[in-house]
Structure 1
Amino acid sequence: MNILILGDASDAHAAHMKNALTQAGAAVDYLDTSLFPKQLRLSWRPDTQVGCLTLPSGRRLNLDDIHSVFWRNFSGVSVPPLKDFNQQQVAFNDSMSTMRSLMQACGTRWVNSWQAYQFHKEKPLQLSKAKQIGVTIPTTLISNDPQEVREFVEVYQKVIFKPVYGGAHTKLVTEAHLELNRLTMALSISPVTIQEYIPGTNIRSYAIGESVYTAEIRSPALDFREDLEAELIPIDLPEAVRKQCLAISQAFMLEWTAIDWRVKPTGEYVFLEANPSPMFVHFERQTGFPITQELLDLLMY
């Protein structure tokens, strides 16, 4: 059984999955797209749906012989620098189009898919979709309008901000942030996501197939990702929230995901985010939840 891991050995989670899949009897290779087109070869015929992949090691795989792909990291493609910028842009676009076509047209099972990855990048749309399926989300504003931002902040006693796309940790809005010149300059560079602060507890749920594993994350940090000493305590989800986890996975086109919640003192669960390629090894070691085995089951059967 041939299984690919999208990523490379420098990523601890990719290496963990390669080792686990190999021990389970699969033939496993990394699919490092940053090596395309210089070291990675790809051919595909849309008329016959036949294609093949030749890895840098020289190992050649027919696309039909690839049982599944575990999506860990997508590194794009790497086109050598050319003197002619237009030629380089054409080469980059051609390479990316070829790679995107492989990810979408190949009948191989992707865990998770290109479509899920693309949807995750549009986080305002993700929040909107969660709301549409009946999941509670924070009161949220995405804007680059200083007046809109200041009016939003005035309504709530405590407000947080974070990037629209991601890539930085959550911070509390302060009076200094709202100073008009500073705010106008910042919002002229990029919009921002502003949300009401939700008091309560951080909860993370891993939804894998039909299984859901959940732990409370005990940390004094505003953004628990900053706290390497955060304590993970396994909990049982209310049945209604467990069903919401599965509904979120389906609505977001996810085979597996980590869903972050904030639970109010009243017990209400508020959805924050669902990640299509979450880190999990530390979580698994701390809680004992069989996440690796669940992923093996998804990829091998």
Structure 2
Amino acid sequence: MNILILGDASDAHAAHMKNVLTEAGAAVDYLDTCLFPRQLRLSWRPDTRVGWLTLPSGRLLNLEDIHSVFWRNFSGVGVAPLTDANQQQVAFNDSMSTVRSLVQACPARWINSWRAYQFHKEKPLQLSLAKQMGVAIPETLISNSPEQVREFVGTREKAIFKPVYGGAHTKLVTEAHLEPHRLDLALSISPVTIQEYIPGTNIRSYAIGESVYSAEIRSSALDFREDLEAELIPIDLPASVHKQCLAILKAFMLEWTAIDWRVKPTGEYVFLEANPSPMFVHFERQTGFPITQKLVDLLMS
């Protein structure tokens, strides 16, 4: 059974999955798209939908022979530097188009898929869909308008801000952030996500297939990802929230995900985001939840 891991050995989670899948009897290779087109070879026939992948090791795989792919991270392509900027852009576009096409054409089971990855990049749409499903979300503004940002913040006791796409931790909005020159400059560079601050408790739920595993994350940090000492306490979700986890999994085109919630003092669960390629090894070690085994089961089924 041929299984690929999208990523490389420098990622601890990718290496972890390669080890456990190999121990389970699969033939496992990394699919590191950064090595395309210099070391990784891809070929595909749109008329017959037959394709081949030649790994840097020289191993040749027919796309039909790839059973499944574990999506750890997608790093784009690694086009060699060229002196002509136009040629460089053409080479990059051609390489990315080839990789994007092959990822979607490969008939293997993807955990998770390109469509799920693309949808995750549009986090405002993710929030909107959750709301349409009847899931509570924070009051949220995505904007690069200083006037709209000041109005939104001014009508709430506390507000937080974070990137629209991701890549940085959540911070509280302060008066210094709203200083006119600073705010105008920041918003001329990029828009921002502003949300109401929700007092309460952080909950992370891993939904895998038909299973859901959840834990309270006890931390004094505004963004628990900054707290290496955060305590993880396994919990049972309310039945309604358990159902919402599985509904989110399906609606977001996911095979597995980590869903972050904020639970108000009233007990209401508020959805923050669903990650299609979350870190999980530390969570698993602290809680004892069988996340790795569930992933192995998905990839080998």
Which TM class, normalised by the smaller chain length?
over 0.9
The TM-score with structure 2 as length reference comes to 0.99
Instruction: Give, in angstroms, the shift of residue 218 of structure 1.
Output: 0.2
Instruction: Give, in angstroms, the shift of residue 85 of structure 1.
Output: 1.0
**Corresponding position of 1:32:** 32
Instruction: Give, in angstroms, the shift of residue 94 of structure 1.
Output: 0.7
**Corresponding position of 1:194:** 194
Q: Does 1:94 align with 2:90?
A: no
**Corresponding position of 2:137:** 137
The TM-score with structure 1 as length reference comes to 0.99
Q: Deviations over 1:58-103 (max 9, x none)?
A: 1111100000000001110011011111111111111101100111
SS at match of 2:278: coil
Instruction: Give, in angstroms, the shift of residue 209 of structure 1.
Output: 0.5
Letter in 2 for 1:110: W
Q: Deviations over 1:223-280 (max 9, x none)?
A: 0000000000000000100010011111111100000000000000000010000000
**Corresponding position of 1:283:** 283
Once residues 182 and 90 of structure 1 are traced to their aligned partners in structure 2, the CA distance between those partners, rounded to angstroms, is 37
1:8-19 correspondence to structure 2 within 5 Å: 8-19=8-19
**Corresponding position of 1:241:** 241
Structure 2: gaps spanning 5 or more residues? none
Once residues 56 and 153 of structure 2 are traced to their aligned partners in structure 1, the CA distance between those partners, rounded to angstroms, is 53
**Corresponding position of 2:221:** 221
Once residues 42 and 153 of structure 2 are traced to their aligned partners in structure 1, the CA distance between those partners, rounded to angstroms, is 51
SS at match of 2:177: coil
Give the number of equivalent residue pairs.
301
Once residues 272 and 125 of structure 1 are traced to their aligned partners in structure 2, the CA distance between those partners, rounded to angstroms, is 12
Q: Does 1:266 align with 2:259?
A: no
Once residues 188 and 94 of structure 2 are traced to their aligned partners in structure 1, the CA distance between those partners, rounded to angstroms, is 33
Letter in 2 for 1:51: G
**Corresponding position of 2:153:** 153
Once residues 158 and 275 of structure 2 are traced to their aligned partners in structure 1, the CA distance between those partners, rounded to angstroms, is 26
**Corresponding position of 2:299:** 299
Once residues 147 and 41 of structure 2 are traced to their aligned partners in structure 1, the CA distance between those partners, rounded to angstroms, is 52
**Corresponding position of 1:82:** 82
Letter in 2 for 1:169: H
**Corresponding position of 1:180:** 180
SS at match of 1:214: strand
SS at match of 2:244: helix
Once residues 7 and 187 of structure 2 are traced to their aligned partners in structure 1, the CA distance between those partners, rounded to angstroms, is 34
**Corresponding position of 1:114:** 114
Q: Deviations over 1:90-134 (max 9, x none)?
A: 111111011001111111111001111111111111100110111
Moved over 6 A (4+): none
Once residues 72 and 282 of structure 2 are traced to their aligned partners in structure 1, the CA distance between those partners, rounded to angstroms, is 16
Once residues 35 and 64 of structure 2 are traced to their aligned partners in structure 1, the CA distance between those partners, rounded to angstroms, is 22
Letter in 1 for 2:146: P
Letter in 2 for 1:182: R
Q: Does 1:208 align with 2:208?
A: yes
Instruction: Give, in angstroms, the shift of residue 154 of structure 1.
Output: 1.2
Q: Does 1:5 align with 2:31?
A: no
Percent of aligned pairs with the same amino acid: 85
Once residues 100 and 71 of structure 2 are traced to their aligned partners in structure 1, the CA distance between those partners, rounded to angstroms, is 13
SS at match of 1:177: helix
